[in-house]
Amino acid sequence: MRIVTTIADVRTAVRDAKSAGRAVSFVPTMGALHGGHASLLHRARKEGSFVVASIFVNPLQFNDPNDLAAYPRTAEADEALCKSAGVDLVWRPTAETIYPADFDTRVEPGKLAAGLEGLHRPGHFGGMATVVLKLLNVVTPDVAFFGLKDFQQFAIVRRMVRDLDVPVKIVGCPTVREEDGLAMSSRNAKLSPESRMLAAHLSRVIHAAARAMRSGERADRARDLAFSDLSSQSAIEIEYLEVVDRDSLLPVVDEPTANAVVLVAAVVGGIRLIDNVEVVPRDKDSS
Ligand code: PAF
């Protein structure tokens, strides 16, 4: 496994791999890697013969400077995880490499970015889409992998790639969970033991809502029940709990719920967590 920082080194390594006939798969990350990232890397290993991972904490997608400063940075452990997952090339750019002093361009996602996370984290998706487009333009992978835990992010990236004709296949991979159901996240390490127990309730509540809809419950009723269950926990501050269509991300009320996804964002013991579950899970990874 090679670790590089410059755009020129990435381009050379990818060009050599492609001229040797290798398919390039790519996993963009912000580091603090966990089991969820490992599953993306393993999937990338299966699908491509040259695996690239990027590790870059993207300042442009943090609307809160404290959140950026507090973001966990675990360089050595990240490199070890990449190595054991069979990554060929780790790209660890500096902020100046990605955003030189005169950098002046932003990607502005449309309607898909308007609600949910978009309402609570202004500017987040513009910053995320800008860096993802830049990373894709440098790495030029055949296929790139994103976790479905960041459901709205996946929908926005997929649409951006389609709208802007970026020649890459985008694959969404299922959320990886701890034994008690808590979705794996870099933020989980910051939970106190009490908050960690409570955090698993997010997953229980949205899975119960999805089960209810699968058995014929209306989306608005399932959502309201889930909301009142979660609100009964005073240590959980709900930011949103919504049932939306998985493609348009528009609210589902009493329409058929086969295409619906339940999404939640909440602050548990000072740590902001997100999770989601599709009412009818897709058979395989979505692309
Ligand atoms: O999901 C993430 O870790 C980030 O949003 C991404 C896609 C690496 C862009 O910075």
Total domains present in the chain: 2
Distance 214 CA to ligand 1 centre (A): 31
Q: Whose CA is nearest to atom 8 of ligand 1?
A: 29
For the Cβ of 128 lying below 6 angstroms from any atom of ligand 1, the answer is yes
**Ligand 1 atom index nearest CA of 147:** 1
User: What is the domain extent for residue 122?
Assistant: 2-173
The CATH number of whichever domain residue 225 belongs to comes to: 3.30.1300.10
The active-site residue, picked from 37, 42, 120, 201, is 37
pLDDT band at 244 (very low <50, low <70, confident <90, very high): very high
On the question of pLDDT at 121 being above 70, the answer is yes
Q: Tell me whether residue 207 is one of the annotated catalytic residues.
A: no
**Mind listing the pLDDT tens digit for each residue in 22-64?**
999 999 999 999 999 999 999 999 998 899 999 999 999 998 8
**Mind listing the pLDDT tens digit for each residue in 170-228?**
999 999 999 999 999 999 999 999 999 999 999 999 999 999 999 999 999 999 999 99
For the Cβ of 98 lying below 6 angstroms from any atom of ligand 1, the answer is no
pLDDT band at 283 (very low <50, low <70, confident <90, very high): low
DSSP lists the bridge partners of residue 251 as 244
**Dist CA 25 CA 5 (whole Å):** 18
The pairing of beta strand 50-55 with beta strand 24-29: parallel
Q: Are residues 22 and 124 in the same domain?
A: yes
* Nearest CA-CA partner of 145 in 245, 203, 62, 135: 135
Q: Are residues 155 and 231 in the same domain?
A: no
In a domain, 27, yes or no: yes
Q: Are residues 161 and 224 in the same domain?
A: no
